[in-house]
Amino acid sequence: MEYSKPPERFAHQSIPQEDPVALTVRALSRTLSRALPTKALGLFREDLITARRRDPAATSSLEIALTYPGVHALWTHRVSHALWQRGARTPARFLSSAARAVTGVDIHPEARIGRRVFIDHATGVVIGQTAEVGNDVVIFHGVTLGGVAMTPGKRHPTVGDHVMIGAGAKVLGPITVGTGVKIGANAVVVKDVPCGNVAIGVPARLLPKPEKDTRDRDLIVDPNYFFDEPALYI
């Protein structure tokens, strides 16, 4: 039995296959449109304003939006966290991995980060899965909010409001860092730090408070307040 030759126009046709990257991006776009809360743009704008207030080197909001990796990492995390909360775990991890590659900041999508947080210089910052960061927190480069166990459950720090964490500091385990705490550069914190204290050293110890604290107590909740000690920062 002889079979006729298929028409020439069908000779080289095959079922088209879509680019997997394009498929991923399309699925991510659909998920984002459903997942992002309406207040997201307001949070992004607040992050810009915070960076402008915190960094004396900043010249404009446009400069910050284009060149500040800490802001980029925060923005990406806010999106990936929204995805994670809605069960879109793979897109959330995809976004956080992309942010790590671009910014040098590794934030797990499940980590909770508050408002008006500023990550300065950004490089080398790691924030683990069960970490919680309050409002008006400043984090410098090389900071780790890490765990000390490989078991499920709470294993990363809880950081209160108005906290400053100096460059290279490591805060480890399910401990609590209280409101208004300042953590010195390269300190290793493995125990709770009560509100309003300054922790320095390896392992971290609390600096003794003066017999009479003459500072205005309102300063401790002022988002623009920094402890006047350069060694805490760099």
- Residue 227's pLDDT is what? 46
Alpha carbons 211 and 196: distance in angstroms, whole number: 15
Q: Give the pair of three-digit tokens for residue 4.
A: 């006729």
pLDDT at 186 over 70: yes
Residue 178 has pLDDT above 90, yes or no: yes
Least confident of 26-30, 132-136, 137-141, 170-174: 26-30
Q: What is the pLDDT of residues 113-159, one digit of tens each?
A: 999 999 999 999 999 999 999 999 999 999 999 998 888 889 999 99
What are the domain boundaries of the chain?
A: 20-209+223-232
Place of tokens 């040098």: 104
pLDDT tens digits for range 220-229: 444 444 445 5
| pLDDT of res. 209 | 73
> What pLDDT is recorded for position 149?
80
Supply φ then ψ for residue 124, to 5 degrees: 85, 10
Confidence of residue 43 (pLDDT cuts 50, 70, 90): confident
**Side-chain-side CA neighbours of residue 229 (13 Å):** 14
Residues 6+ apart with CB under 8 A from 156: 111, 127, 128, 129, 130, 131, 132, 145, 146, 147, 173, 174
Distances in whole angstroms, Cα of residue 160 to Cα of each of 37, 78, 94, 118, 220: 24, 18, 28, 14, 12
CATH homologous superfamily, domain 20-209+223-232: Hexapeptide repeat proteins (2.160.10.10)
pTM over 0.85: no
Are the beta carbons of 173 and 204 closer than 8 angstroms? Answer: no
pLDDT, tens only, 68-125: 999 999 999 999 999 999 999 999 999 999 999 999 999 999 999 999 999 999 999 9
